[in-house]
Amino acid sequence: MLTTSERFTTERLVLRRPHLSDAEAIFEYASNPKVIHYMDYCPRTDVSEVIKSLQDKFKQWESGNFSWVLTIKPDDRPIGTIACCVEGHAADFGYLLNQKYWGQGYATEAAIVVVQWAISQPGIYRVWATCDTENLASARVLEKSGLVCEGRLRCYQVRPNISAIPRDAFMYAKVRGAG
């Protein structure tokens, strides 16, 4: 049985469930081509797309698709998003951050707390994430969060902002009782 958490607090951050009123702040990074470059979707062009995606996420929470916005204490404005999807004995996660806040350890701080939460849930033995093989910042976040690179997934995912040809990705994971 999962103990879901609506809110996590770290040294500098609060991770909380998003509200519809966050749409404008989320649009600020979800519309930035540099932030969305490695995603499997295109940059948002209108805030209404963010609102629709938030509404979808609200419905998905009960089925194990969790997402939280990152806020820097004491400000409540989102600077990024981290999402985690639980399926059977495994959970995968992903994240993105407003470019203004890159390079200050925020993604790692958020990933560590979400990985810790997921791996300590009864029944979850594996927490994993993939990243494009050229997304070195993301690979580093995964390493710093205690995941281990298990290998290269060839032709794993189309990144429409780069090419229509599926690209390779690294598979990172942390398993219970090991690295």
Ligand X SMILES: CC(C)(COP(=O)(O)OP(=O)(O)OC[C@H]1O[C@@H](n2cnc3c(N)ncnc32)[C@H](O)[C@@H]1OP(=O)(O)O)[C@@H](O)C(=O)NCCC(=O)NCCS
Q: Which of residues 76-95 bind ligand X (CB under 6 A)?
A: 94-95
User: Does residue 96 belong to the site contacting ligand X (CB under 6 A)?
Assistant: yes
User: Does residue 33 belong to the site contacting ligand X (CB under 6 A)?
Assistant: no
- Of 126, 29, 32, 39, which Cα lies nearest the Cα of 81? 29
User: Does residue 15 belong to the site contacting ligand X (CB under 6 A)?
Assistant: no
Cβ-based nearer residue to ligand X, 66 or 106: 106
Residue 20 is which amino acid? Answer: L
Return d(Cα 99, Cα 123) in angstroms, integer.
Answer: 35
For the bound state, the minimum distance from the C-beta of residue 164 to ligand X, rounded and expressed in Å, comes to: 19
**Among 52, 77, 140, 152, which residue sits at the site for ligand X (rule: CB under 6 A)?**
140
**Among 15, 54, 97, 115, which residue sits at the site for ligand X (rule: CB under 6 A)?**
97
Query: With contact defined as beta carbons under 8 Å apart, do 51 and 19 qualify?
Result: no
Cβ-based nearer residue to ligand X, 121 or 130: 130
User: Does residue 102 belong to the site contacting ligand X (CB under 6 A)?
Assistant: yes
Total number of residues that touch ligand X (CB under 6 A)? 20
For the bound state, the minimum distance from the C-beta of residue 98 to ligand X, rounded and expressed in Å, comes to: 8
User: Does residue 103 belong to the site contacting ligand X (CB under 6 A)?
Assistant: yes
Can you tell me which residue has the tokens 């810790």?
116
